[in-house]
Structure 1
Amino acid sequence: MLFAFSVAPAVSDDTTGSVSTAVAAAISVVRESGLPHRTDAMFTTIEGGWDECLAVIKGAVDAVAAVSPRVSLVVKADIRPGFTGELDGKLDRLEQALAARASRD
């Protein structure tokens, strides 16, 4: 299963409005989990089972909640039993489809 999530303070006490310090605390939870993961500018995607992924997401929320009275969380899941390695597998299949399309054009 893949879980893409974004967690951040709903309010920031930084004069620039930056939430990077709180988000860094959340990403530390993800990295310490040992689960396969990828972070980009908008989301962090983790791969694993229900219980382990939801525990990591809760830990990330708790890390942000430690510095903010209000937390925003967005979660999207790709539930596909029997598949692993999809963090890279989905991208590999996409690149193959794009290459096939380019060769037809």
Structure 2
Amino acid sequence: MLVAFSITPLGIGEEVGEAVAEAVRVVRASGLPNRTDPMFTTIEGDWDEVMTVIKQAVDAVAERSPRVGLTLKADLRPGVTDGLTSKVETVNRHLAES
């Protein structure tokens, strides 16, 4: 499964980069395939391991923020692995054909 998520520290002002970095640090330390862009971090794995990492990331931000917002988008597709890169490669292949 792929899960794109965004954790938003609330109540600490506009400078949230340090708190967000703590969440990304947790994701990267998990060893699961992941990618971070300006809006979301996407992580790939099975349900239990992905949700555990997301909870740990939320907890890391909650240590620095009195309130935390969490947005999730999930693609549950049994039997698919390497979706993090293969989905992008498929789109790029179609773009190259045009």
Q: TM-score, normalised by structure 2?
A: 0.97
Deviating beyond 6 angstroms after TM superposition, the runs of 4 or more aligned structure 1 residues are none
**Structure 2 match to 1:38:** 35
The correspondence for 2:45, drawn from 31, 41, 48, is 48
Pairwise CA RMSD? 0.8
Aligned-pair identity (%): 57
**Structure 2 match to 1:5:** 5
Secondary structure at 1:60 match in 2: helix
* Larger-Rg structure: 1
AA aligned opposite 1:10: L
Instruction: Tell me by how many angstroms 1:12 deviates.
Output: 1.4
Secondary structure at 1:35 match in 2: coil
**Structure 2 match to 1:77:** 74
**Residue ranges of structure 2 left out of the alignment (5+ in a row):** none
**Structure 1 match to 2:54:** 57
Superimposed CA distance per residue, residues 25-55 of structure 1 (whole angstroms, 9 cap, x where no aligned partner): 1011001100000000010000000000000
**Residue ranges of structure 1 left out of the alignment (5+ in a row):** none
Tell me, in whole angstroms, the C-alpha distance in 1 between the residues paired with 2:3 and 2:26: 15
Instruction: Tell me by how many angstroms 1:2 deviates.
Output: 0.2
In the TM superposition, 1:20-35 aligns within 5 A as 20-35=17-32
